[in-house]
Amino acid sequence: MHTTALLTALLAPAVVTAQLHDLATRAGLLYFGTAVGESASQQDQAYRRIIDDKSEFGQVVPENGQKWESTQPSQGRFTFTQGDITANIARQNGQYLRCHTLVWHSQLPNWVRSGSWNRQTLTAVMESHIANVMRHYLGQCYAWDVLNEAVDDSGQWRDSVFLRVFGTDYFPLSFNLAKKYDTETKLYYNDYNLEYNGAKTTKTVELVQIIQRAGAPIDGVGFQAHLVVGSTPSRTNLATTLRRFTSMGVDVAYTELDIRHENTPLPAPASAQITQGNDYANVVGSCLDVDRCVGVTVWGYTDKYSWIPGTFPGTGDALLYNSNFQKKAAWTSVSSVLAAAATRPPSTTLSTSARPTTAITTNTPNPTTPVTQPTPTVVQPVQEQARWGQCGGQGWNGPTRCQAPYTCTFSNNWYSQCL
């Protein structure tokens, strides 16, 4: 019975999914992921359905649930209800979990922020926090953002209770404590505006050097990439900036990518949406160009839920799906740049009758099952592309004609669009 089902499945044509995580892994990245809004994931089924689609998002990160104010709101009272929401989603779906964040000046409860500490007492507080939170998530996190945003926007060390008590000694201290309680997870420094390669980036290079010279363990630097349409650096410049860090022997990743429209009436006109798509392609492309850039995480995926309008009123529409959960031009642009680099064989999605337990991927064949021929690939035929859809570009195998009255318009080497 089992053998028959297996053979049927193997002989069935495979359907190639062109979803972002699947394409990213075929292009050599470890994942394409998203932040998860805790409330939305529990209250909005349409939102949750796409979060649960591992072919789209193979990695998740809690938007707020693991922060200090959520996990230890008062001294010694630890609560993981909010953080567990995303951790449970990751476990149920077999997605990577990025964990965020341990030492940060923001979303830090008042009892820490305004406490009267010395080196000894604040070390004890940090150790207790790191120990309890890391132990709770032990074995679940692919990476932890150990230290977040310790450099300010002018390229100085950011003022915080930690800096005032320790000076820069709290950088290696944070990483040493993290290593003490989880020897396996990747330990990251994480910050925004590193992408512009200015004074803040240079100061962050110094931060990594301080940690390394102190003999403390650091595995990666997260580029948050909260960017602006039309002001995003080029693919080449972004790759150059990433390499400033990989040359120091650490991994890099884009950890909170969103690209907001500014000075544009929303919803943004088609031309601004194309610019946004190009900016997204440049960011994702730069990760593909750099060895040790492990993956890309968007800070939410739908414009229905984003931190941006609350923080920068009048700006927004920064994500890959619109508020009605429809893919935007930016989604198509990202999928195109990934598809162009997706030289590895696709994972085989078995035909609908196949049970998940019989799933076999073409790149990791089950050693007990001889597979002599690759499963034939069928790309679903679509004759004409709808408005906004992709109609050309390097690596594009889909339709090249547009539905009337739209025409296929060249945008860049990876992307032409029906406009």
Residue identified by tokens 């209800």 is 81
Q: Which is nearer to ligand G3I, 186 or 226 (CB)?
A: 226
Q: Which is nearer to ligand G3I, 232 or 417 (CB)?
A: 232
Main-chain phi, psi angles of 157, to 5 degrees: -60, 135
Give catalytic status of residue 184 as yes or no: no
Instruction: Draw the binding track, 150-189, toward ligand G3I (x: CB under 6 A; -: no contact).
Output: ----------------------------------------
Out of 96, 181, 254, 307, which residue is the one contacting ligand G3I (CB under 6 A)?
A: 307
Give catalytic status of residue 256 as yes or no: yes
Cite the DSSP H helix spans in 80-118. Answer: 81-93, 110-113
Out of 256, 279, 303, 317, which residue is the one contacting ligand G3I (CB under 6 A)?
A: 256
Per CB under 6 A, does 411 bind ligand G3I? no
Give the sign of the dihedral formed by CA 186, CA 189, CA 192, CA 195.
Answer: negative
- Per rule CB under 6 A, count of chain residues that contact ligand G3I: 8
Per CB under 6 A, does 106 bind ligand G3I? yes
The token pair at 75 is 């001294």
Out of 43, 75, 81, 107, which residue is the one contacting ligand G3I (CB under 6 A)?
A: 107
SS3 353: coil
Query: E strand or H helix at 283, and its extent?
Result: helix 270-289
Per CB under 6 A, does 375 bind ligand G3I? no
Q: Which is nearer to ligand G3I, 40 or 270 (CB)?
A: 40
The residue number whose beta carbon is nearest to ligand G3I equals 307
Cα separation, 415 vs 417, in Å, equals 6
Q: Which is nearer to ligand G3I, 232 or 375 (CB)?
A: 232
Residues 38, 63, 149, 195: which is the catalytic one? 149
DSSP state of 55: T
Report the nearest approach of ligand G3I to the CB of residue 224 (Å): 5
- Decide the pairing of beta strands 390-392 and 293-298: unpaired
The token pair at 25 is 């892994």
Burial of 275 (0-12, 13-18, 19+ CB in 10 A): buried
Out of 64, 72, 185, 273, which residue is the one contacting ligand G3I (CB under 6 A)?
A: 64
For 331, residues 6+ apart whose C-beta sits below 8 A from its C-beta are 20, 320, 321
Cβ(25)–Cβ(1) under 8 Å? no
Cβ(55)–Cβ(105) under 8 Å? no
Main-chain phi, psi angles of 170, to 5 degrees: -75, -15
Per CB under 6 A, does 34 bind ligand G3I? no
Q: Which is nearer to ligand G3I, 106 or 369 (CB)?
A: 106
CA 226-297-161 angle, 5° bins: 60
DSSP state of 414: T
Query: E strand or H helix at 416, and its extent?
Result: strand 415-418
Report the nearest approach of ligand G3I to the CB of residue 263 (Å): 20
Per CB under 6 A, does 22 bind ligand G3I? no
Report the nearest approach of ligand G3I to the CB of residue 307 (Å): 4
Residues in the chain: 419
Q: Which is nearer to ligand G3I, 106 or 236 (CB)?
A: 106
Q: For residue 284, what are the CA distances in angstroms to 25, 241, 265, 294, 296?
A: 13, 14, 26, 11, 7
Per CB under 6 A, does 301 bind ligand G3I? no
Per CB under 6 A, does 81 bind ligand G3I? no
Per CB under 6 A, does 42 bind ligand G3I? no
Report the nearest approach of ligand G3I to the CB of residue 325 (Å): 19
Per CB under 6 A, does 403 bind ligand G3I? no
Q: Which is nearer to ligand G3I, 100 or 186 (CB)?
A: 100
Out of 23, 33, 58, 63, which residue is the one contacting ligand G3I (CB under 6 A)?
A: 63
- Cβ atoms within 10 Å of 344's Cβ, excluding its own: 13
Report the nearest approach of ligand G3I to the CB of residue 139 (Å): 23
Cβ(226)–Cβ(195) under 8 Å? no
Provide the binding-site residues for ligand G3I, judged by CB under 6 A. Answer: 63-64, 106-107, 192, 224, 256, 307
Which active-site residues does the annotation give? 149, 256
